[in-house]
Structure 1
Amino acid sequence: MSDGDDVGRLLIVLGGVLVSAVLGAVFFLVVPGSLADLLGVVLTLSVVVLGARGASRLADSMFPDYNAAEVAVEGPITRDGSTPGPLPGSMGATADDVVERIERADEDEAADALLVKLDTPGGAVVPSDDIRRAAADFDGPTVAYATDVCASGGYWIASGCDELWARRGSIVGSIGVIGSRVNVSELADELGVSYERFAAGKYKDAGTPLKELSADEREYLQGLIDGFYDDFVERVAEGRGMDPEAIRDTEARVYLGEDAHELGLVDDIGDRDGVEDRVGDLLDAEVSVREFEPERGLADRLRGGVAAVAYAFGAGVAGVVGDDERGFRLRF
């Protein structure tokens, strides 16, 4: 950014503050003479703050001081940000918000490159794929980098970027699928609870926890898992430019960053400065990064960090096949 841009930004911000101060004084101090002076001062300062924020945004749009955008994906990925399971109410990555930020960065003429910060064990299947598609559609270089955890759905997202970087101690991988169900049929028998089936379709209640699985139901559910796994492997192999068999050979294990690099699951090892240097090489310019944040309140952006780390070892991308009462859960 040139010195002229610096001066232009400063003038816009100072102008916005001055105009806001004058308007606040006129409306809240001069005109309503009956108002208490203290209330007038508070309202004036509020208008000044709002004016300064507006002026700052205007200055950013007219004289951007960045050429790369950063979008973070943190915590388990769901559609609405809520995390089901043992820690209900904790917050994860809201897929729609992440996609909106990536698309906003793509539309921003100043953002020539995209950094995707990944600290996630995965999450719901379709929301994770929405984020991956948005990153893949970004018009410019895209570099994903793992901090603590880039597992399962997080790795799926990374496969849509041009490169993936990790720290030596990052947890990377978990390219696999798991299906699970709670079987309480014996407990139901002991309690005198019986299960009566009223369903249209042979497999409508496959996986319900109140009855034992039949052999053909097991085969049906395993088929779902195999299908999801094949799709997962093909997507990752295509995005990473790897042999699908090499992906299968990982057997859904997680690896430390350095080991993942040796296996070809990660392009390079480095910290945030190294990632920025790489983006600078791709742009052939000095890099300045702006983080694109969700357009919502701070409370809604709180992440369930402890839940994310614990969930990482559970194999990532979680989706429910069918209704909640059916009991069968499928996760990538």
Structure 2
Amino acid sequence: MVSSRGIGRLAIVLLGAALFAAVGVGLFVVAPETLADLFGVLFALVTVVLGIRFAGNVAGSLLPAYDVAEVAVEGPISRDGGGGPLPSSPRSTPADDIVEQIDRANDDENVDALLLKLNTPGGEVVPSDDIKLAAERFDGPTAAYATDVCASGGYWIASGCDELWARDASVVGSIGVIGARVNANELAEKIGLSYEGFTAGEYKDAGTALKEMTDDEREYLQGLVDDYYDHFVERVSDGRDLEPSFVRDTEARVYLGEQAHEIGLVDELGTREDVEDAIAARLEVDEVTVEEFEPTRPLMRRLGAGAQRVAYAFGSGLAGIAGDGEFRLRT
């Protein structure tokens, strides 16, 4: 069944075609009494075609074909998609871009619902929370759809949507926080390196790779991880309406979609078409048309992204060796 929006677009196109046809006939068929009459019909047809294209553009501006915005979160989540001395994977997710897309969809009067497609293993804590908050700000129905992986920071983001869908074999969960550092102290001693730090504040260099951590420093860093975890559990339990004790009892396990659905981590199982049908039902329409929202990037930034992909091809194999070794937190 054709939607009212589609009927409106068709009406505008037909009206524009009729108007331009009348103009074409008047200019090139009826009025002329010279040799131009021989070409009148041809010119009239050209005018009609141009009129249809013009009317189509007007219809697209007044009544866009989409009513649902899709924003994709794919790859590891970070602030800007980079975050290190060497380029990160080109498929990493810049959180600021995702927030911009969601906010742009929220400001678009033609968008009635938001579809957040998730395929991410998680990533940095605060950028994940920024995306979740943007989803919560959206004025309308929101649905998160897990494709392959919706883990850790991805699940954090999903907790900001009205419902979470997944496939039977999607990987869902990993509600936990990890803090890690490279301990290069023994290696440094073997090759004759030593660490000498000049700091103000007892814990300023806690977690530095080239020095052995004290018990107090371990306790301090573990406290940071625990605080982030408490925050994570609170966000998920509030957003997903789950008991905090249940969230903690998952112990950061991952589940396949079917099991995640059985225990309540996922609301519904289904395909992309099922998700769109559910959104249409919530909007009380026969069907929806989804428009993929992508980040608006200046030319120099797009060129920089291309250069990053080239650099990644050469440098990704060194990333695990050449990191700075500092203590890092991620979901």
The TM tier, using the shorter chain, reads 0.7 to 0.9
Tell me what 1:291 maps to: 292
* Kept in 2: contact 1:9–1:60 (CA 8 A): no
Tell me what 1:190 maps to: 190
CA distance in 2, matches of 1:303, 1:289: 30
The Cα RMSD (Å) is 2.9
CA distance in 2, matches of 1:213, 1:266: 40
Runs of 4+ in 1 over 4 A off after TM superposition: 9-13, 54-59, 83-87, 297-304
CA distance in 1, matches of 2:307, 2:163: 28
SS in 1 for 2:117: strand
CA distance in 1, matches of 2:14, 2:203: 66
CA distance in 1, matches of 2:96, 2:16: 33
CA distance in 2, matches of 1:196, 1:5: 71
**Equivalent AA in structure 1 for residue 330 of structure 2:** R
CA distance in 2, matches of 1:9, 1:82: 46
CA distance in 1, matches of 2:148, 2:9: 37
Tell me what 1:238 maps to: 238
* Kept in 2: contact 1:114–1:143 (CA 8 A): yes
What is the deviation of 1:8?
2.8
CA distance in 2, matches of 1:148, 1:76: 13
Alpha-carbon deviations, 1:16-53, whole Å to 9, x = none?
Answer: xxxxxxxxxxxxxxxxxxxxxxxxxxxxxxxxxxxx9x
CA distance in 1, matches of 2:96, 2:244: 30
Counterparts of 1:41-80 in structure 2, within 5 Å, are 59-80=59-80
Tell me what 1:20 maps to: none
**Equivalent AA in structure 2 for residue 248 of structure 1:** R
What is the deviation of 1:192?
1.3
SS in 2 for 1:274: helix
CA distance in 2, matches of 1:59, 1:301: 35
Tell me what 1:134 maps to: 134
**Equivalent AA in structure 2 for residue 81 of structure 1:** G
CA distance in 1, matches of 2:14, 2:74: 34
What is the deviation of 1:89?
4.9
What is the deviation of 1:65?
1.5
SS in 2 for 1:290: strand
Tell me what 1:8 maps to: 12
CA distance in 2, matches of 1:247, 1:279: 27
Q: TM-score normalised to the size of structure 2?
A: 0.76
User: How many percent of aligned residue pairs carry the same amino acid?
Assistant: 59
SS in 1 for 2:64: coil
What is the deviation of 1:94?
1.6
Tell me what 1:262 maps to: 262
Tell me what 1:96 maps to: 96
What is the deviation of 1:236?
0.3
C-alpha change, 1:3 and 1:283, in structure 2 (3 Å) is closer
C-alpha change, 1:263 and 1:175, in structure 2 (3 Å) is same
CA distance in 1, matches of 2:270, 2:199: 55
CA distance in 1, matches of 2:56, 2:77: 32
SS in 2 for 1:97: helix
CA distance in 2, matches of 1:215, 1:173: 31
Tell me what 2:49 maps to: none
Counterparts of 1:141-180 in structure 2, within 5 Å, are 141-180=141-180
**Residue-pair matches, total:** 276
* Kept in 2: contact 1:122–1:153 (CA 8 A): yes
What is the deviation of 1:254?
0.9
SS in 1 for 2:255: strand
C-alpha change, 1:179 and 1:57, in structure 2 (3 Å) is farther
**Equivalent AA in structure 2 for residue 3 of structure 1:** I
Which range moved further: 64-73 or 249-258? 64-73
1:328 to 2:327 alignment: yes
What is the deviation of 1:75?
1.1
What is the deviation of 1:285?
0.9
What is the deviation of 1:256?
0.6
Alpha-carbon deviations, 1:57-93, whole Å to 9, x = none?
Answer: 7643311122211111111112222265997353311
CA distance in 1, matches of 2:206, 2:269: 45
C-alpha change, 1:327 and 1:202, in structure 2 (3 Å) is same
CA distance in 1, matches of 2:108, 2:124: 28
Structure 2 unmatched ranges of 5 or more: 20-52, 313-322
CA distance in 1, matches of 2:253, 2:267: 18
Which range moved further: 109-118 or 286-295? 286-295
What is the deviation of 1:227?
0.4
Structure 1 unmatched ranges of 5 or more: 16-51, 308-323
CA distance in 2, matches of 1:214, 1:114: 48
* Kept in 1: contact 2:8–2:63 (CA 8 A): no
C-alpha change, 1:301 and 1:59, in structure 2 (3 Å) is farther
SS in 1 for 2:219: helix
C-alpha change, 1:88 and 1:114, in structure 2 (3 Å) is closer
SS in 2 for 1:135: helix
Which range moved further: 292-301 or 192-201? 292-301
